[in-house]
Chains A and B, each alone.
Chain A
Amino acid sequence: ETGVTQSPTHLIKTRGQQVTLRCSSQSGHNTVSWYQQALGQGPQFIFQYYREEENGRGNFPPRFSGLQFPNYSSELNVNALELDDSALYLCASSTGQTSSGANVLTFGAGSRLTVL
């Protein structure tokens, strides 16, 4: 089974631009969560998508938005980029089921965004 894949792995943008990051979830997973990991910090929860609907959001402004597609892949969009948006963006997928053994998060390797 394939794991979680993210693209691009690295990208550089300038302030005010917009960026789209992509995530392919692990086969059989219908839930995708996005996290922002600034340098030297732990990951921070941005939002989660379950069956194409947003299902929970962290403390991030509306310029952070997302989509989940019928094949459960996902996109993270960030508008009006700021310097502080420079970070590693992690995508994680799971089954979203209640069985405690079934819904462990599988993380991708991340997309490293640098905003100049």
Chain B
Amino acid sequence: AQSVTQLGSHVSVSEGALVLLRCNYSSSVPPYLFWYVQYPNQGLQLLLKYTTGATLVKGINGFEAEFKKSETSFHLTKPSAHMSDAAEYFCAVTSPGGGTSYGKLTFGQGTILTVHP
């Protein structure tokens, strides 16, 4: 079984400050890892994903995440927060198993990011 733990249900930063959202996973096989963002009254949008290869993954809107196998972590960062980054962020995991495995995700509880002027 797989699981995802997101540390901190709420994170608050000032505009221009570093954003760090934490994600730890549990998986018995090498995982595929994802970060999604959800704006109010909208569906989830993929920010970035790690499957294989380079462990530092760059995504949209200036976000990046680093897969650290030894720490079972996949933390999301952005050097400088913008007001438009305020949203809820979800970390998710699945295991490789063909293309349809991408649809069977296990999500964390989510982290609400607030950005102050």
Q: Do they bind each other?
A: yes
Interface presence of B114 (CB below 8 A): no
Question: Interface size for chain A: under 10, 10 to 19, 20 to 34, or 35 or more residues?
Answer: 20 to 34
If the complex has contacts A90-B43, A103-B99, are A42 and B51 also in contact, measured as CB distance less than 8 A? no
Specify which chain A residues have a CB less than 8 angstroms from the CB of B104 in the assembled complex: 33, 45, 48, 56, 58
- From B49, B103, B106, B109, contact of A33 by CB (8 A): B103
Taking a contact as CB atoms under 8 Å apart, the answer to whether B99 and A109 are in contact is no
Residues in A1-44 with C-beta less than 8 Å from chain B: 4, 31-33, 35, 40-44
Taking a contact as CB atoms under 8 Å apart, the answer to whether B102 and A42 are in contact is no
Interface centre among B4, B46, B100, B108 (most CB of A within 10 A): B100
Interface presence of A113 (CB below 8 A): no
**Can you name the residue of chain B whose Cβ is closest to the Cβ of A41?**
B109
Specify which chain A residues have a CB less than 8 angstroms from the CB of B107 in the assembled complex: 35, 42-44
Taking a contact as CB atoms under 8 Å apart, the answer to whether A99 and B99 are in contact is yes
If the complex has contacts A42-B109, A43-B107, are A95 and B45 also in contact, measured as CB distance less than 8 A? no
Query: Interface of A with B (CB < 8 Å)?
Result: 4, 31-33, 35, 40-45, 48, 50, 55-56, 58, 90, 92, 94-100, 102-105, 107-110
A-B CB proximity, top 9 nearest = A107-B43, A42-B107, A33-B103, A98-B99, A97-B99, A107-B44, A103-B99, A48-B103, A96-B100
